[in-house]
Amino acid sequence: MARIFVTGSTRGIGAHTARQLIDLEHEVVVHARNRAREQGARAQFPDAHGIVVGALDSLDSTCALASRASALGPYDVIVHNAAIGGGVSERALTDDGFERIFHTNVIAPYMLTALMELPRRMIFLTSGLEARGTWSADDLQWSTRPWDGMQAYSDSKLHDLMLALEVAARYPQVISNAVDPGWIKTDMGGPNAPDPVELGAETQVWLATSDDADATTSGLYLKRRKALDPNPAALDLDSRSALVNELARLSGVHLP
């Protein structure tokens, strides 16, 4: 039995990831971003090990979530599933002055990694759109480029892939991988997506629980349990280091 924390786990892929893991009799800590979603999660997951509440769109709330989640740990596995999509017509800022997609999708999982005890396994949810992501070291938050919400989302998924591979490189004791769940019928994926939500969770569950050689290899980008070639930017050591350094500067917290 493993203890597993899944962020963004009240809806969509995250909820199905949590449910599949609970059904396999693991101790799962569910994450809800607000009190309203917590109420639904208590009905949906009465058999969860615990439920923690906290938004991922501010430095203070992300720090508080790390503390609440840590109180129910330590964890064998952390699944960084929470994210917001790119279907927004205008660039929006958090209360800290950061671009909202970048904070929720990139700063937040970085901060949780830095602030929580490292697990044996870590899984970062990316997207096939990482292939369209651009590494713009001087404009990670779209402060100078004309706003393009879907491109900002694609960039954030490239950054998540970079984080997964950087964690794998820095911490050989952690099996860290990134997963493209596919185009899934969720609120984010939309009704025209071809694949059911259960399939979108399957690879994460396998990575979290299996002792297969392929599931215990670190530093991979996977889809349907198969390793894919990542965006070349994710393989560039200097770019990954620059991303981590900028995230440390913005958040004020550093990787252990």
- H helices present in the chain, as ranges: 12-23, 35-44, 59-70, 100-102, 108-115, 149-170, 197-209, 237-251
Average pLDDT over residues 82-87: 95
- Determine the Cα–Cα distance for residues 77 and 81; give it in Å rounded to an integer: 12
Please indicate whether residue 7 or residue 191 has the higher confidence score (pLDDT). 7
- Determine the Cα–Cα distance for residues 179 and 215; give it in Å rounded to an integer: 12
Look at residue 134 and tell me whether its pLDDT is greater than 90.
Answer: yes
* Lookup: tokens for 66: 């790390």
Least confident of 104-108, 199-203, 204-208, 241-245: 199-203
Q: Give the tens place of pLDDT for each residue, 184-195.
A: 767 676 777 667
* Lookup: tokens for 217: 């290899």
Q: How many CA atoms lie within 13 A of 197 on its CB side?
A: 18
Q: Give the tens place of pLDDT for each residue, 159-190.
A: 999 999 999 999 999 999 999 998 776 767 67
Q: Give the tens place of pLDDT for each residue, 104-113.
A: 999 999 999 9
- Superfamily grouping for domain 3-251: NAD(P)-binding Rossmann-like Domain (3.40.50.720)
pLDDT at 38: 94
Burial class (CB in 10 A: 0-12, 13-18, 19+), 222: buried
Question: Average per-residue pLDDT in the chain?
Answer: 95
- Determine the Cα–Cα distance for residues 37 and 34; give it in Å rounded to an integer: 6
Residue with tokens 């992300």: 62
Look at residue 6 and tell me whether its pLDDT is greater than 80.
Answer: yes
Average pLDDT over residues 41-45: 94
* Lookup: tokens for 219: 């530093």
Per-residue pLDDT band for 2 (boundaries 50, 70, 90) equals very high
pTM: predicted TM-score of the whole model, two decimal places? 0.96
Q: What is the domain partition of the chain in residue ranges?
A: 3-251
- Determine the Cα–Cα distance for residues 87 and 171; give it in Å rounded to an integer: 35
- Determine the Cα–Cα distance for residues 75 and 3; give it in Å rounded to an integer: 5
> Which amino acids are annotated catalytic?
153, 157
Q: Strand, helix or coil at 31?
A: strand
Residues with Cβ within 8 Å of residue 56, at least 6 apart in sequence:
7, 8, 33, 62, 65, 82, 103, 104, 108
pLDDT at 108: 98
